[in-house]
Amino acid sequence: MQVRTRFAPSPTGFMHLGGVRTALYAYLYAKQNNGSFILRIEDTDQERFVEGATEVIYDTLRACGLNWDEGPDIGGPCGPYIQSQRKATYLPYAKQLVASGHAYYCFCTKEEIEARRAAVEAAGGTWKYDKHCLHLSQEEVQQKLDAGIPWTIRMNAPTEGETSYSDVVFGDMTFKNAESMDDMVLIKQDGMPTYNFANVIDDHLMGITHVMRGMEYLSSTPRYNYLYNALGWEIPTYIHLPTVMRDATHKLSKRDGDAYYSDYIDKGFLTEALVNYLALVGWNPGTDREFFTLPELVEAFDIHRINNSPGIFDVNKLEWMNSQYIAKMDFDQYLAMATPWFDKVLAGKNIDYRRLAELMQSRTDIFSRIPEKIAFLAEMPEYDTAIFFNKKQKSDETVAKEVLPLLLPVLEGISDWTEQNIHDVVMEKIQEWGRKTGSVLWPMRISISGQESTPGGAFEIAYLLGKEETLRRMRASLARLENA
């Protein structure tokens, strides 16, 4: 059997992380079976359609390396792959279901349905379409059709019995038909199929063997199976995926800015790290291994190890993983990606970005935190002179008051302001003065950075700041100490 999986997003906005993970799993499963991964755009609900959302889907999947074998832009044997362009495909199947008694024409208006719903609910019942039009004779139906009365086609759902099926992740599922099914609309008044109908028709016509989608569809599956059976089609293998959650009780949300792929990319996460981490949200390789490239995931992925409890998306874990990916990045690529973040605070400052990048690469967890870490290079921060105290470095304010006046003329004397020269000259003087290294370098670094923790030490920072700025800051710090 040739494995065919699909990702079938609705273009209703940005790409949710749960969607990216669904696409990833569908891709991995297809690739590890030398099968095909198909992209289908489900846009039959034109009211929910968002301009530009289809491009976001393409761009996100491409960025993640989830290249599809068949899809709207590249075509394929089962095209078109955009449901609105397949509009004419669905009606014949709906008519076939009408002919076999599994579906029927409905001429109820919205208002009529609303009135009946209100009455049922007022009497304390739960509304379900009441099969009102099921009992129209063929002649009555034909008359109404001829008269041009607007219609829909509804499924004639069973009202008794149960439907069972087996899901790869959730195991054996059984639903009471009366509870899980209703006479849902298959073809809408505008001639478009509903998602509930189109997904069955398309999955069959596109030869999909394994359907992966969110677990919110578990209870809808009996309806789909009813349609597959009514049409005499083979039911695909179902792999329902647990929801991606922020924690045990919270979903990822648009409002918290943690739901969409783009939220993470904008914050400076690497796509590779995100894809790697997402793979592990809901699946585990059965070993302690955590780092996987996409091809390695293709090898290791196992649908039987998908968890049926919610996948917790732990952003702290992702940050850690991201920092590991950044540390291993090619240096020039890091420099290129870090540059716009450097620019946010250092644009126009004439700072050696290459050197800064060397210092920052191992200290970057997410790119968006770079500006706060290097802001002191742009402007001397406010600081408490108490930070001149450092027991281990044998430094305090008194020591600093002695050391800075010694350092100033030494630094002034350096004409070629390279990191090496600053290092050599200062180290030589420290020897000459007979002082402990830390007791000079700690005050030096604090006086020009205003903070205890910096990327790089006194020499690196002095070099990055340039001679003039270094001296200016050191003099200002000394003045503060003397006036204290």
**What is the contact surface with ligand GLU in residues (CB under 6 A)?**
8-10, 42, 195, 199, 213
Residue number, nearest CB to ligand GLU: 213
Distance of closest approach, residue 195 Cβ to ligand GLU, in angstroms: 6
- Amino acid residing at 125: G
Nearer Cβ to ligand GLU (69/296) = 69
Residue number with CB closer to ligand GLU (185 or 399): 185
Q: How far apart are CA 210 and CA 207, in angstroms?
A: 9
CB of 249 to ligand GLU, least distance (A): 22
User: How far is residue 125 from each of residues 113, 117, 319, measured CA to CA in Å?
Assistant: 15, 9, 50
Question: For residues 117 and 251, which CB has a smaller minimum distance to ligand GLU in the complex?
Answer: 251
110 is catalytic: no
**What minimum distance in Å lies between the beta carbon of 285 and ligand GLU?**
25
> Measured from the CB of residue 110, what is the shortest distance to ligand GLU in angstroms?
24
Answer whether 355's CB lies under 8 Å from 463's CB: yes
Closer CB to ligand GLU, residue 42 or residue 365?
Answer: 42
Please state the φ and ψ torsions of residue 66, each to the nearest 5 degrees.
Answer: -90, 70
Q: What residue has token string 């709906």?
A: 94
> Which 3 state secondary structure label does DSSP give 417?
coil
Spatial contact of 448 and 460, defined as CB atoms under 8 Å apart:
no
Collapsing DSSP to helix, strand or coil, 254 comes out as coil
In the bound state with ligand GLU, the residue whose beta carbon lies nearer, of 94 and 198, is 198
- Measured CA to CA, the distance from residue 333 to residue 344 in angstroms comes to 18
Q: Which two tokens stand for residue 121?
A: 């609910």
Q: Which two tokens stand for residue 122?
A: 């007022």
Cβ closest to ligand GLU, residue 182 vs residue 202: 202
Q: Nearest distance from residue 80's CB to ligand GLU, in Å? A: 16
DSSP character at residue 16 = B
If the CB atoms of residues 9 and 35 are measured against ligand GLU, the closer one turns out to be: 9
Rounded to the nearest whole angstrom, what is the least distance from the CB of residue 238 to ligand GLU in the complex?
10
CB of 198 to ligand GLU, least distance (A): 9
Provide, rounded to whole angstroms, the least separation between the CB of residue 312 and ligand GLU.
21
73 closest CA partner among 61, 64, 87:
61
Rounded Cα distance, 265 and 54, in Å: 18
Please, are residues 318 and 244 in contact by the beta-carbon 8 Å criterion?
no
145 sits in the region (left: phi over 0; alpha: psi -120 to 50; else beta) called alpha
CA distance 301 to 383: 51
Sheet (strand 185-187) strand order: 103-106, 152-155, 185-187
Nearer to ligand GLU, 10 or 156 (CB): 10
* Partners of 176 in beta bridges: 162
Q: For the purposes of burial, counting CB atoms within 10 Å of the CB of 444, is it exposed (0-12), middle (13-18) or buried (19 or more)?
A: buried
**C-alpha to C-alpha distance for 146 and 133, rounded to whole angstroms:** 16
Q: How far apart are CA 20 and CA 61, in angstroms?
A: 8
Of 95, 254, 317, 392, which one is the catalytic site residue? Answer: 254
- Residue 89 and residue 201 in contact, taking contact as beta carbons nearer than 8 Å: yes
For residue 318, the minimal CB distance to ligand GLU (Å) is 24
Tokens of 250: 């919270």
d(CA 38, CA 81): 9
| Whether 58 contacts 16, CB under 8 Å | no
Closer to ligand GLU by Cβ: residue 48 or 62: 48
Q: Just list the catalytic residues.
A: 254
